[in-house]
Structures are given as C-alpha cells and as structure tokens.
Structure 1
C-alpha cells in the first residue's frame, strides 16, 4: 500500500488554550451507522466519517501526532471488506472503528520506524494485537509518533518532531506513546494502541484527558512489537472511557477468536475485589512528591475524597518499597535489555539517535552479568516487601504524573525531568501489576491531570470497573471484561427468553451472560404467535416494507452451550442472523414466514415486554 509520511513542524498553537479537542469514541462511530440498512448506506457513512477524520488530521498536523497516514484507496478497500463481512453475518464488534497504532507496533504494509529513521522497515504481517482488532472490523488510520525506541515519557525524543499537547501546544504530550494519545484526544481515532514499560501508556493518557489501560504483563501478545524491554513491555490502550477500553480488551483477549502467541498465562487471583467497597491504598503525606506542583497535589486530594464518597476505604501504606522498585528500572540492569532492539544500530549509526536515548543506551553497555543477577535478587526482595502492603489494600491510588512540563523545560533538562514524570509509574511493570489511568479534571494551565488505579496481577477487571465508577460511567466495563475466553456466539433473544420471562433460565442454565440490551435495525416486524406455550413472539425481517426496531437482549454462549440450546428450539421458531441497531449482525430468534399468517402484528409496541404490559393493562379485572 502507499500512504503519506507526515511532515513535521514546530509551529505552535492549534486551538485556543484550554479548549477541548473533538471527541470521537466507539459510540460516536456507531452512531454514524445507526440508520444504515444497505451496503451503499454503510459505504456512504464510512466515507463521511473518513472525511471528518481527515479534517481532524489536518487541524492537528502541527502537533506531530502521526508519522504515517493510510491512503484513501487502502482505507476504501478495508471498508469494502468490512461491509462484505458484515452482510455475510460476521460478528464485527468494532465495525469501521478508526484507530491508530504506535509506530513500534507492526501493521502489514505500513512502515515501522520505532521513532528512528534508519530503522524503518515495512513488515509483511501485522502484530497479533493489530490482527485481532482488524478481524473485529477496526480500521487502521495510521502510525503514531513516539519517543525513539519507546525510551522516554515526554514525547520530545522523536526525529519526526516533538509531539505537542493538544490542550496547550507549549506543553509536552507525554510519552513514549505520545502520538497515540494525541490522535485520540484530537478526534483522529476512536482509540489507539500504545506500549508501556515505564509508564508510556499512562503518562500520555493523563496529559491528554484519556483513559489509559496498562494490562497485566503478558495478557496480550507482543508478537510484532519492537521491544523496549521485552520482559516488561505491555501493549496498552488509549480511549475516552473505561467502557471503550473494556470493549477493546474484550477483543484483544480474544474470546471466540484464536489463541494468542508470545503471551503468558495470567496467574489466577483468589481475591475477587468488589468495585463497590475496595480498600484503596495511598502514600502518607510525607511520602508524596509533586515537585512543587500544588495544583496536582490538590487534584490528588480531590481524587482521594471522591473515592471515599464512592464507598472506598482509604488506607495509608508505606510507599518506600514501590519507590525502590521504580529506581531499578533505569538505575538497575533492565536498561541493558533495550540494547537488544537498538544496540546494533547504535554501533553503526550513533548519530541517528536522540541524544538522551543515545546516552541511556551507552550507559546500558556498562551493565555486567553480575549486575543483572544482583538486580534480579534486589527486585525479588523488594517485591516480597510490597506484598506486605498489599495485605492491607485491594488497589493503590496514585497521581499518574506528579507534575507537567513545558517543552522548552524538558529540552533544557531532558533526563532529570523525564525521571520526575516516572516517579509514580516506573515500578508497575517490574512488579507485574496492572493499572488504569483515569482523567481527573483540568489544571490551571489548561493541561489535564489524572490519577491511576493500580491492582495486583490479573486484577485488570477490578481496576477498570472501579475506574469506571470513579469516572461516573455505567458499570458496563466489568460486564464486558468478565467474559469467557473460549469460543462463543452472540445470540439475540426477543421474547420468552428475555430476563424475567419464563424461558430465560434456558439461557442462564447454560452459562449465557448478558452482553447488551439494544434494538434491531428498523427492518423488522414482531408478531404474537398463535398457540404457543408459553406465549412467544416471532421476528421477521422486511427489506422493502415499513417496519420497526425491536427490543432484544444479546447473550454470549459458548459453542457447546449453543448446540445444546438449539436442540430445544421448537418450530416455527429458528435461529438465523439478526441486524442490530449498530449495523452489527448476530445470531438470534427468527420465525418461519408461514407462522405469521394467523399471528398478531405487535411491531408498534417495540418489543415483547411492552406488548405483554399493554395486554395486561387491557385485561378486565377479576372480581
């Protein structure tokens, strides 16, 4: 494929200081297709959405968010393929959702640079995480700028230009997944992939008013990811909400798809943290550090108060051991692991490296084998000490960053100020914890602030669910994440199998879990069938006639459970494919056309429950 390499620029202001960039999230994209019925209508809606994205890219070009932009012809081909699959009945939960990919993660036929021009190569296949998202219908818009070889938390260490903050371009965007976060904040993408070793998936989230999910290490494959420290790296997600992040997680976890390669099993956790009443740990006042930033200190206190109001118990813990682990990331031997990806090029072309990255890698060459083992022993001791603190808490609440800097400040003191940005983030992957960075309002300088909920290995669900509650979202995130990873089918029910109806147990007895309540597209009519016990409706699709949208519940069943369930479906009912209001197709109850000959058309009620309620109200009272 061909595409556009994004020209860089250092010109500042894109929007008035403190103004909010355009928002593009999963629900906004679904809204673009909500009224589409035909392939042509889906095509038109997709092209309209791409035009909107082009405007966003043009408006944000001086922020240097993107290194590579997919060309129109390639995007049109992907859209056509998605539409074809959609009308074939494929389940595409991310149908035409635009996303960008950090440029150390491979996308087939798009160049990968890792933020270093001599390193540029064009992979023949995509990283496994990208493949999975594309199989779910998502649309790659381009590759995002980053700190070179994912080394840095500032967004300033790139030959493709300093990545600027969209809320105030004089300030840093955060890094190393800088362009990924800026692209989502500016409405270029509904979500983005980053990576996280020292905080690269959380720091940019905080500074761009986003949710940043750093999963348990090994939860997702890193095949096709240029490593920083492969033993610590995680692919991360940027999104506008915890619910969106949860939907992306559900796809990347791969329920019903195919097993991940180059990933690790997640240890089972016996504790099931309740998102309603967690014990949340915080450092005591004397162990907190804000580098003189009173605004961030006040925001952190406000976050603690909000957690109390939401029912959490706040517990002061000793933060000393966590800080000790953080220091090991760059002062210990793990920095030498970065040489595995960049060391050969450093020898051949040292001038190709950002000065800060070059100095870090040169220092890494001094690490000895004895240093490596010494570091491993130290980390084991520190991890054991932190476990004593975890006995008193379910989650740890910290500022995502202690402060924020202008670009000129970072350029004047790149190593020290970068280290300050990692004060609350560097230890997380070394201790194999999971984390969710959450927005926490705006600072006086117009830059967003944020906090992070950190949880033990495998407790991604609990951290994301609590962050959703903290953000005053619905509890959808936990529902999405608590899904099986075995092959499954989405099944829409419309009548006697709805919650509260007499046959609902046939779903729950087989382990079915509710995914969503929604409606069909408006191409359906609903009939009350004659002579069925218990009473049942029948759903029929009408392509050319006026019809309506009918209430359904969508459940997830594994293949074995669905097979058993099908054996009990009586005629004239059958299982076919149903189009939802979002344009997605799922399996669901339909009825043989002959059965509606003597059936009552109840489409006007919009669903079986409302019809039953109306019939109950109309029934004469018994004396």
Structure 2
C-alpha cells in the first residue's frame, strides 16, 4: 500500500485509492521509529500532534487530494520556524520557541502538508558537509561512513530514506544542492528573493534561499510554487520576473581545461562527462566556457567580507556564548573580525567586476551544467581537515546566490561500483526557475538513477514537467535527416531542434531501398520480429516545415506513427512493406548511420 519513496504522484494515487492521512501518519511514525540514522532529526513532531494535524486536515478538507499538498508529509530544517516546535539552528543554547510559522511553512500547511519534524544541520547553516552539529552527523543513505552533505543534512536524509515526501533546506553556499547529490535527490534552489525568508534564522541574510529536496524535479517545483510569492516582511523578497529560455537549441556551458577539478575523484568526473553526453543526446549544444570568474566569485563567500554577514546574524550570541559554538563554525564566523567596512565595499566592487566578466560568458550560453560537488569524503576524513575539504564541496556552488541565479540539482548516477552517488546542477539567470525545470527533469529521467535510496525505481510519469508550449511538431527521422547527414539542414534551417537520440521498438526492420540515388532507407514494422531496435532521432519542427515534409515525401515513403523503445509514439518516416521486396536488409547494423559508415570504409 505504501511506496518505499513517498513521491507526490504515488502518494496522491494512494489517497485516491482510499488511503487516508491518518493511515499515512501511522506509516511515517513507524518509519521514523525504525530509521537507521539517529541524527536525522533534532525535534520530531510528537505522535499525537501529528495525528491531530491529520484530523484537522480532514476536517477542513475532507475530500482526498482537494488541496495541492493534501496529506503530504514534509520535514523542516531546524533553522526555519515551525510553531509548536523549538528552533535550535543546531545549537542547544540558542533554542527558542517560535509562536508563528515561517512564511514558507505556513503556506505549505495551508496547502495541506503535514510537518513531521525539524531536521539536523551544520550549526547555524555554516558548512556543506553535515558533521558540524552537537546532535550528531547524519550520513549518506548509501554508506554510513560517508558524509550526508550539508548544511541541510537531516532534510536530505529524511527524504532519501522515505520518511518524508519532501523537505525544506536553506542554501547560502550550496546547502540545498550538495546534500541532494550525496543522497540521489533533486535540490531546487530558487532565485534569491523568489521565496520569502521570514521566520528563517539567517546565515548570510542578503543571499540566503529556502530550498526543496524531493525525488523528482516535478515534485520539487510543485512545492516551490506553493512557497513562492512576494512577502513585504522580508526586505529581500522580490516580485517574480520570469525569465524564459530558448525553445530549441539550448546552449549549455560545461567545464573545460584547468577549471575541471575533481580532487582526484575520477568516478565523479566520469559521471559528469556522462551527463554532458546525455545532455548532448537530448539535443543540447555543449559549449565549454571559462569558469574562472565564477570560481573567483565563489571564493568571496568564505574568503571575503561575506563572512562578516554570518557574524551579523549571531554576533550577540557569539559574544555571550562562544563555547556553545561548534569549534569549526566558531573559527569561520570569528574570522569576520578581519573585515571592516572598507573591505565590505571592496568585496562588492570585486563581485561586480567579476559579474561583468561572467556576462561575456553568458553571451553564448543559455544555462550552465556543473558538478554539484566534485568529490565526497568519509566523516572521518572530513573531521581530519574540516575547512579545506568542506571548501572542495563548494567549488561549483558558492557563486550562485552571489550572482542571483536559479539552480536545480539532479542526480547524475553512481560510481563504478554502483555505490556512491554524484549529481550535476543546472544554473540559469535570475527567475529562470520554471524555464530550467523541463530540461532538468528530462535529463534526470534520461539518466535513470531513481530517487533517493530507491535508485532503481522509475520516475513517475505523473510528476513529469511539461515542456513549455513551443508550437513545434515532433518527428522521427531515420536516414539522411539525421544529425550530420546531407538533409539535416531541412530540419535545422526552419528552426527545428533535436529533442533526443533513441531507438525504435524491437520489431522494426531497416532496408536499403533499391534503385535510389543516393540510397534511401526503408523502415517497416514487423510484429513479432525481435531485433535490436534502430537508432533514430526525434526532432521538433515548425508546423510549416512538417507540412512540407509530408507534401514532398516520395513514394513508397510516408509519414506514420513510429513506436520508440520507451513505448511512446511519434510521427516519422515509414515505408510501404511491398517496396522492400528483394531489398538489402541492414537491421543488424542497428541504424542508417552505421550503414553509411560501412560504405565509407568500402571506399
């Protein structure tokens, strides 16, 4: 009855089938009690309070799925206020009892979601590794010797373990993305100002962002949209100004040359390269870019005057309670005393100079794709060198909020042993949050790495992010219209774009049509035939271009529905069966490109 991973689609289906929020609460309570990692939560919602919340939900919204997040269990990082539960920011002496929910929590509760508890974090959200808490160090759900990532450590582990459908984190330097990578999750990092921070203990108030951990991009975006909205009580809240991305030919910037740094982790570098190839197969144009100005901006967050903003958030408490700080956190925040007002202005000047340099890079790009974290470490190794190794995690994350970007982190696969996961993050300009989502979702699905601990589970179709309506028509091509082939210009010329490279279903056969110069392919379907599936490309073209294709196709070719290896059907080039009588069959080669290659080899 209960899915191992509590994604929104599976949960909604269960509720539609008769499950009630009270049933779900009992299951969640049982899972929490059986959880192997004792450091996930700082405070759990008392069982009777959780049951009461479920009954209250049924009283105000008795119909199943009548609210956007009806009966959906979620966890909250313990630097975000939840009325009735203490806030500690992972410092027991800092504990206080909020009387109101943070704005984001209030909005989620109004949408029907149920808070199951407050999760562990690197103290005062200062860290990317998850070990800086007196409440213990949550661990990667795949190997308890390894860090969970931080600072939103408990939030990521709670979702990846199947305890919550989603969880809230915060992100200043990458805290909503790194734990996602280390636990095979999606991390939604909104544009700064899109989601209000009222009721959040600040780390760096000017760049902090509330984030979402979820199993799919669709789930994370759905939750983020509930939280979105201007709040005048937050001085950094900004009305949304949506930014679009091109409907075709996405140009994705990737690391090149000396800026590729994985600190010796060849497995993570290979996973990054595999994600790049998959993005290319999905139709993206891969563009190496100069990461140097982004990296130099990233260094300002911990090695510049922004450290003083961390001190501004807790200066009175640090003055009165220095011994209550984690030693590493105290060292970092105390370092702010080296910066004065002049250094602050100099830091701003440096950031803006770097922003100008990044504009030159963005001129040829639509989004960036970077490793979420270039490597990972055991807890033991992290504790042995906590500042330097923590810094490694932030190499490709720290710049994002300083520049005001939107970002979505997705899983990218597992190392060669299928053991530890890595991730990649897509970055876009401010308020490109929704525009990033379709490609992020498509790439996550293409990489086929599951959700959280359930790394072999298929992502639910119901959570798929719809592509923006682009007015284009999909078409399958098998021969001379393939990328790099002589007739490909008939697709690219009218503004067509490559959607993906894939294969047909197994019962298609391919022939070389006789008496055609240059040779033409004949694709037919033979039910019951078991072949390799044939290499094809799916393109999108304008309706006018599609009409010209149909009008100009010579007999015996025509347009019909082609079934692909994922069982979807797309219009494409097919051949009348009689035309292949006596023709050479090339099915065993696997596709037209392989056939052309054999001709080239023959001279």
TM-score (norm 1): 0.70
Q: State the secondary structure of the residue aligned to 1:170.
A: strand
In the alignment, structure 1 residue 166 sits paired with structure 2 residue 141: yes
Q: Which residue of 2 aligns with 1:469?
A: 442
Question: Quick one: distance in 1 between partners of 2:314 and 2:175?
Answer: 18
Name the residue aligned to 2:264: 292
Query: 1:276, 1:184 → 2: CA distance?
Result: 34
**Cα distance, 1:111–1:87 mapped onto 2, change above 3 Å:** same
Change (3 A) 1:475 1:323: farther
Distance verdict in 2 for CA 1:369–1:274, change over 3 Å? same
Distance in 2 of aligned mates of 1:424 and 1:119: 31
Instruction: State the 4+ residue runs in structure 1 displaced beyond 6 angstroms.
Output: none
Give the one of 82, 102, 109 matched to 2:77: 102
Give me the whole-angstrom Cα distance separating, in 1, the residues matched to 2:77 and 2:211: 10
For the residues of structure 1 that align with 2:156 and 2:90, how far apart are their CA atoms? 16
Note if 1:69 corresponds to 2:44.
Answer: yes
- Counterpart contact for 1:111–1:122, Cα < 8 Å: yes
Residue 96 of structure 2 corresponds to which residue in structure 1? 121
Is the counterpart of residue 335 in structure 1 residue 307 in structure 2? yes
Please tell me whether the aligned partners of residues 22 and 185 of structure 1 are also in contact (alpha carbons under 8 angstroms): no
**How many pairs are equivalent?**
451
Unpaired stretches in structure 1, ≥5 consecutive residues: 1-20, 37-41, 483-623
Provide the residue aligned with 1:502 in structure 2: none
**Could you tell me how far apart the structure 2 residues matched to 1:396 and 1:145 are?**
30
Answering whether residue 408 of structure 2 is matched by residue 436 of structure 1, we say yes
Query: Could you say what secondary structure the match of 1:192 adopts?
Result: strand
Q: How does 1:12-161 map to 2 (within 5 A)?
A: 22-36=4-18, 45-87=20-62, 91-161=66-136
State how 1:330-369 maps to structure 2 within 5 Å: 330-369=302-341
Moved more, 86-95 or 104-113: 86-95
Structure 1 residues 59 and 266, CA, compared in 2 at 3 Å: closer, same or farther?
same
Residue 95 of structure 1: CA displacement? 0.5
Tell me how far 1:401 sits from its aligned partner: 0.4
Deviation at 1:266, TM superposition (A): 4.8
- Aligned counterparts of 1:479 and 1:261: Cα–Cα separation in 2: 33
Return the offset for 1:204.
0.2
Q: Which is worse superposed, 326-335 or 63-72?
A: 63-72
Q: Determine if contact 1:396/1:454 at 8 Å carries over to the other structure.
A: yes
1:370-416, Cα deviation, whole Å (9 max, x unpaired) = 00000000001101110111111000000000000000000000000
The reply to whether residue 304 of structure 1 matches residue 286 of structure 2 is: no
CA apart distance, 1:480: 9.9
Q: Contact 2:217/2:465 (CA < 8 Å) preserved in 1?
A: no
Q: What is the distance in 2 between the residues matched to 1:54 and 1:337?
A: 39
| Structure 2 gap segments, 5+ residues each | 446-458, 470-603
Whether the 8 Å contact between 1:193 and 1:238 is mirrored in structure 2 is yes
- Where 2:144 maps in the other structure, the secondary structure is coil
Decide whether the 8 Å contact of 1:216 with 1:266 is kept in 2: no
Once the two structures are TM-superposed, the CA of residue 198 in structure 1 deviates from its matched residue by: 0.2
Contact in 2 for aligned 1:469/1:475 (Cα 8 Å): no
1:489-547 alpha-carbon deviations (Å, 9 max, x no partner): xxxxxxxxxxxxxxxxxxxxxxxxxxxxxxxxxxxxxxxxxxxxxxxxxxxxxxxxxxx
The reply on whether 1:177 has 2:152 as its aligned counterpart is yes
Q: Which residue of 2 is the match for residue 265 of structure 1?
A: 238
Per the alignment, in what secondary structure is the counterpart of residue 452 of structure 1?
A: strand
User: Is 2:152 the counterpart of 1:199?
Assistant: no
Q: Is the 8 A contact 1:276 1:466 kept in 2?
A: no
- The answer to whether the Cα contact below 8 Å between 1:66 and 1:142 also exists between their aligned partners in 2 is yes
Q: 1:332 to 1:458 in 2, by over 3 A?
A: same
Q: CA deviation at 1:90?
A: 9.8
Query: What does residue range 183-582 of structure 1 map to in structure 2 within 5 Å?
Result: 183-253=158-228, 261-262=233-234, 263-266=236-239, 268=241, 272-274=244-246, 276-444=248-416, 446-472=419-445, 478-479=465-466
Offset, 1:89: 10
Aligned to 2:377, the other structure's residue is in SS state: coil
Matches of 1:413 and 1:230, distance apart in 2:
27
Q: Aligned equivalents of 1:324 and 1:475: distance in 2?
A: 41
- Any idea what the Cα deviations from partners look like across 1:425-451, whole Å, max 9, x if unmatched? 011111111110000111246121110
User: For residues 90 and 53 of structure 1, do their structure 2 counterparts lie closer, same or farther at Cα, with a shift above 3 Å needed?
Assistant: closer
* Deviation sequence 1:43-79 (CA, Å, 0-9, x none): xx32322222123212325341111111122112211
Contact 1:266–1:457 (CA under 8 A) maintained in structure 2: no
RMSD of aligned residue pairs (Cα, Å): 2.1
Contact 2:249 2:284 in 1 (8 A): yes
| In structure 2, distance between residues paired with 1:245 and 1:183 | 15
* Greater displacement, 328-337 / 22-31: 22-31
Q: Give the secondary structure class of the aligned counterpart of 1:458.
A: coil
- Cα distance, 1:201 vs structure 2: 0.1
**Partners of 1:468 and 1:475 within 8 A in 2:** no
